Amino acid sequence: VSSSLSFKEGIISLGDFKGLVLFGLYAHIFFFLLGLATLAYVTLGIKSQRTYTLIISIIFITIIFSAQKIIAFYFIASLLLFYVVIYYFLEYWYYGRRNQLAMLSFIFLFVGSIDFTFSAVNHIPYVIGHILYFIGYLFILINFIIMLGPLRWKEKNVKEKK
């Protein structure tokens, strides 16, 4: 198999882009877990930089030394999302309808992440995991749009008063 591209063949082998695909995969793992760890850290209410670096270090050392990296990735993501779901559930329980969409979105992301953990062994739940992730991210988008509403209204009123 030649790694050079020819216009006569018209076919590009994905094997030629293996390094780029691996870079993208590891970048996704790194930034996704970094974001979830940061979100879990913030929701736990801890104000210690040493604790934050400890959480990040344990996560990435576990990923680096695991034999099944994708299973470890989704398991750690599920664990971090579990803490975020508990936080938003307690917020909903004590304060009512506040952050209801955020809680629902993280529940869908949590269940989808658990589903992805099992889809690494069995490929049937893979599509279900993507659907759950899509619903979770859709709820985050809806929550974001709802939060932007008062800002746009306030900005519009400020312009009208001038």
pLDDT at 1: 44
Tens-digit pLDDT profile for residues 46-99: 889 999 999 999 999 999 999 988 889 999 999 999 999 999 999 888 887 777
Mean pLDDT to the nearest integer, 114-130:
82
Q: Please give the angle made by the CA atoms of 102, 49 and 67, to the nearest 5 degrees.
A: 75
Distance CA(88)–CA(97), nearest Å, equals: 11
pLDDT at 5 exceeding the cut of 60: no
Tens-digit pLDDT profile for residues 19-52: 888 889 899 999 999 999 999 999 988 889 999 9
